[in-house]
């Protein structure tokens, strides 16, 4: 939701930063990898019970995720491989962060042993909208938007880390919102996929169609040729 509404405003700020980072020689893939390193530190910090510092590292994890695209555009290196690497690292980051939360809940006697399952459920439902979008892109359809995207998930999880009594409830909220987002995207793709797809014929197919179809002019031309052959045959026989 935030990504769709404020993307243009965010790009106004990230574009000059991306150009500055490019001048240092840092590539977009290196920026993406830096975000992965930050997520590892955040997961370890959260798992160790330092939730406040974990929230700080969570916020820092979002910075490379915002800048890697700007660096790629500034350096002219935006590619399918870079998009694939970025998307894969996003899923790994989500797994690390929610894994850190699950580890903390499992080792904290103040929480029920079942509380950690909400962290796994939050991660599982967070992956589903991403999968729907990726599959829709592969089919040439669009499945962006929804109730929550990655930025909103970071914000909600950060609130739970800062206000620890709300941690489990923020996970429950994420499960609900992620599920609603998945249903929303599924319905959107289902509607778009129901429309008939017009497949343009290739030039060769059009030529074959023209060759195989007899027009009135071609019929008259063949009739004249047949008549000429008959006259020639009659002359030879005479």
Catalytic site residues?
90
Q: With contact defined as beta carbons under 8 Å apart, do 176 and 205 qualify? A: no
Rounded Cα–Cα distance for residues 161 and 166 (Å): 8
Burial of 106 (0-12, 13-18, 19+ CB in 10 A): middle
Query: CA dihedral in degrees (155, 158, 162, 165; nearest 10)?
Result: 90
Rounded Cα–Cα distance for residues 182 and 238 (Å): 86
Return the sign of the alpha-carbon dihedral for residues 92, 181, 59, 52: negative
- Spatial CA neighbour of 90 closest among 116, 62, 71, 70: 62
Query: CA dihedral in degrees (82, 119, 102, 133; nearest 10)?
Result: -10
């Amino acid at each position: 939701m935030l990504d769709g509404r404020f993307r243009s405003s965010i790009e106004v700020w990230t574009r000059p930063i991306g150009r500055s980072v490019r001048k240092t020689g840092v590539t977009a893939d290196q920026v993406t990898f830096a975000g992965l390193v930050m997520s590892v530190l955040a997961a370890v910090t959260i798992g160790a019970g330092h939730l406040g510092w974990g929230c700080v590292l969570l916020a820092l994890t979002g910075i490379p995720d915002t800048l890697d695209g700007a660096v790629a555009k500034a350096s002219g290196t935006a590619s399918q491989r870079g998009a694939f690497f970025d998307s894969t690292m996003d899923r790994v980051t989500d797994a690390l962060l929610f894994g850190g939360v699950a580890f903390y809940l499992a080792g904290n006697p103040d929480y029920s042993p079942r509380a950690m399952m909400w962290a796994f459920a939050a991660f599982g439902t967070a992956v589903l909208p991403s999968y729907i979008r990726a599959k829709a892109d592969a089919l040439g359809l669009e499945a962006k938007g929804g109730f929550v995207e990655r930025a909103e998930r970071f914000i909600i999880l950060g609130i739970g880390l800062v206000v620890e009594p709300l941690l489990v409830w923020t996970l429950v909220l994420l499960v609900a919102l992620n599920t609603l987002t998945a249903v929303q995207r599924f319905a959107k793709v289902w509607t778009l996929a129901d429309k008939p797809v017009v497949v343009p014929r290739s030039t060769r197919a059009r030529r074959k169609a023209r060759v195989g179809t007899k027009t009135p002019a071609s019929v008259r031309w063949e009739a004249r040729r047949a008549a000429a052959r008959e006259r020639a045959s009659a002359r030879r026989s005479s």
